[in-house]
Amino acid sequence: MSPLIDALREQGVRRMWLEVIRDNHAAVALYQSLGFEVRHGLCGLSERAGRERGVIRIAGV
């Protein structure tokens, strides 16, 4: 992901964001190691019918 982020920055992109399941700690840690920060909690649904699952929005500069 680092080469992609670097290429986007070189093209003038100053803000990036993504969404990830809150309980996916490995993904959250990966994105934070790349300089992203947790910004918002969102509400989503899991694949199991009707069961709510926390989703977070992660932003990077």
**CATH architecture of the domain with range 2-60:** 3-Layer(aba) Sandwich (3.40)
Locus of tokens 């500069």: 61
Q: Strand 16-21's sheet: what is its strand order?
A: 16-21, 52-60, 37-45
pTM: 0.67
Per-residue pLDDT of 44-58, as tens digits, reads: 555 554 555 677 777
Which H or E run includes 57?
A: strand 52-60
Residue 61 CA to residue 57 CA, distance in Å, equals 14
Indicate the burial class of 53 (C-beta count within 10 angstroms; 0-12, 13-18, 19 or more).
Answer: middle
Per-residue pLDDT of 20-44, as tens digits, reads: 888 899 999 999 999 888 887 766 5
